Chains A and B, each alone.
Chain A
Amino acid sequence: MPSVKLHPRPSIPANKATATAPSNPAHNPLPTLLQTPSGLALLELQGTINVPSGNEDEDIEEASGKIDPAAAFETPIGKLMFPDYSTLNPDDTKWMKRAYLYVGRYQRMTGEVKKLPRPIAILQKHPSEGEELEVVDIVRYKIFFKNRPEPVNNV
C-alpha cells in the first residue's frame, strides 16, 4: 500500500470502549491532570519490569489489534502514589514533583510527573481497516521514574 491513512479519532469512542469493561468504566484513579478522554496515560521508567508471562510465546500480541477484554488478566506489580496530591486542590501543581512507584512491597522508585516537551499521540491499528491507523488519544504529561529502585520497609 503506497499510502496508509491515519485517522484523527479512535473508531470506537473512549466512553464506548470502556463501557464493556466489567467494572466502573468512568473511574480513573489518576490525578485529574493525567486523565485523558480514553483513560490512557504514560509512565516512563529506567529499565524494565519483568513480569511472569502466562503464555511464553504470545507475550506481546502486537499484531492482533483489539484484544478481547475477557481474555485479558492483570498481574499486580506494585503501587503508584502521588504523596502530595490532594483532590481538594487539583490546580496546585506542586504535587507533580513527587511520585512513588512501589515494585512489590520492598522496593520503591521516586519520580515525578512531567509535562511532555511535545504532546504525544498514542496510535493503534484501526480495528477494522487493516493497515490503517488511528490516534487513540493525545497525552501531554508523563509519570517519569528516572531513578533506580531503593529498598524500603513495608508501608
Chain B
Amino acid sequence: MSTQDSRSILFTNTLPQQGFRLLELTPELEKLLTAEDAPTLELKSPSAALAKAVIDPSAQDYVNLCTATSTYRIRQVQSSNSIHVLRPSHGEISQADIKVVEDVETSLDLPNEAVTTIAKCSSTLELHVPPGGFSAIPFLEKSLRLYDRRDDDVSMDESGPLGAQEMRQVREQMCLDIPVSTAQCEQGWVDLCAFVDGGEEVAGWRPSARARLHVWKSLVEGAVLQGIDLEKQFLVGDLWKSVFDDEQDAPFPRALLDAVVRRICVEDERPALADEMKWASFDKTECTRWVGETWLAANAPSVSSAVGKSEFMRAWKDCLPESWREDVALSKLTDGCYKSPDPTTIYYVVESQREDTPKAAATGAAAAKAKNTRNWHELLKARR
C-alpha cells in the first residue's frame, strides 16, 4: 500500500477536555494581535438598563469585541462538523489501548508520534460590522442627563469646577457600559458636547440644542466684545472670561463651554479628550454648518414645529459673526438633516431618523423584553 512508508501519527482523545472558543479574525485584528505590542482587547455588552433603552433590532443579547478604535459584533456560528483542538500528546496512553488501532509489531515512536484532541468545538465566533458601523451616541443619549437651563436658573457650578481627573472618571465609568470602542465613545461624547458637572451631584450631561445654541450665542457676543478672532488661535480661558459680561455668576458651567469649543474647533487641533482645551480656533465652514443645524434642532425639531425657510436663514445669519454671514446656504447643511413639508418651511431630522440610516429603534419592540445577561459565557452558552 502506498501509505506504508509515510509516517503515522497516533491520534488520541484526552479526557477531561478543555474549554476553548474559536474566534475568526479579520485582517486588521490579526495584524493587531500578532504585533509586538499587541493590545488587550475588550468584550463589551451594554448594561441591562442600556440594553432596554437602546434596542438593537438585529440582536437581543450581544457581545461586541472592541479594540481601542473599532467595534465588531460577535456572532456565534454553529457548525454541523466538529472542530477539534489538537496538541502534541503528553504520552499518557496505555500500550494495551494502542492495540485497538495498531498492530503490536508495528511500533510507533511514542509519545513523540502522537497528537491528542483536547477540546471539541461545534461553533466558531465570527465578527461583523453592520453597514453604518457602531456609534456610542444612542447609548450616551440614554446615559447622560439632559442639560437645558437658561440664564435665570441657578448656576450648576456652585461647588467650583471639578478636576480633570474627576471628570475623566465619570466619563470612563459611563463608557464601560457602552458596548463600543473607547475612541468611538469619545467621538460620541465630543459630538454631543457632553460634559461633567458637579453642581448638584457629579454627573455627565448632554446639553439640549437650545443650551448649545445659547453657549454659541454667548461666546460669539463675548468674542466680538473682547475682540477675539474665532478663526485664529485664541485662549479658551479668554473666551470664558468674555462670556461673563457684567454678571458675577457664570451663565453656564465652564465644562459646557469647553465641550462646545471642543466640538466646533478645527479638528486637527482638537486635543485628546483627557487633555485640557487650552487653545482653539474655529473653522468657518464647519462652525457655520453646526450653528445652522443646532438652531434648527432647537427651534424646529419636528414636522409640527417646522419654521419658514426665510425665518430660519435670517436667524441662522444672526447667530454668526458678521464676516461669516455670506456663507449661509441650505446646501451647507449635512445631507438629510432637514426636511421640508412644503416649499417654504423646514424642520430638523434627528440623526437616527435620517433616511440613509436603517430604521432602527422602531422595529425592535419585540426585543424590548429581551433578558439581558452580562456574563458573556452564559450568553453564548444559551445560544448553543
A→B interface (CB under 8 Å)? 1-9, 18, 21-24, 27-30, 38-49, 51, 53-55, 58-65, 67, 69, 71-85, 100-102, 104-105, 118-125, 131, 133, 135-136, 138, 142, 146, 154-155
Contacts and interface: CB of A to CB of B under 8 A. Distances in A.
B13 interface: yes
B38 interface: yes
B85 A42 contact: yes
Contacts of B124: 120
B177 A40 contact: no
6 contacts: A1-B375, A30-B9, A47-B82, A58-B16, A59-B17, A121-B22
A67 B18 contact: yes
B114 A29 contact: yes
Nearest to B114: A29
A6 to B, nearest CB: 4
B85 A122 contact: yes
B100 A104 contact: yes
A128 to B, nearest CB: 15
Nearest to A87: B7
Given A2-B374, A58-B16, A77-B12, A118 B24 contact: yes
Given A47-B82, A123-B20, A138-B30, A80 B11 contact: yes
Interface of B: 1-4, 6-27, 29-30, 32-34, 38-47, 65, 79-93, 97-98, 100-103, 111-117, 120, 124, 176-177, 374-377
B14 A29 contact: no
Contact of A81 (B3, B26, B116, B177): B3
Interface residues of B: mostly helix, strand, loop or mixed?
mixed
Contact of B89 (A23, A59, A67, A102): A23
Contacts of A49: 13, 82, 117
A123 B115 CA distance: 20
B97 A41 contact: no
Given A44-B84, A72-B15, A79-B10, A2 B177 contact: yes
Nearest to A121: B23
Given A76-B100, A80-B9, A105-B102, A44 B47 contact: no
Name the residue in A22, A48, A69, A118 with the highest tally of chain B Cβ atoms < 10 Å from its Cβ: A118
B318 to A, nearest CB: 45
A80 to B, nearest CB: 4
Contacts of A30: 9, 86, 88, 115
A154 B41 CA distance: 50
A51 B13 contact: yes
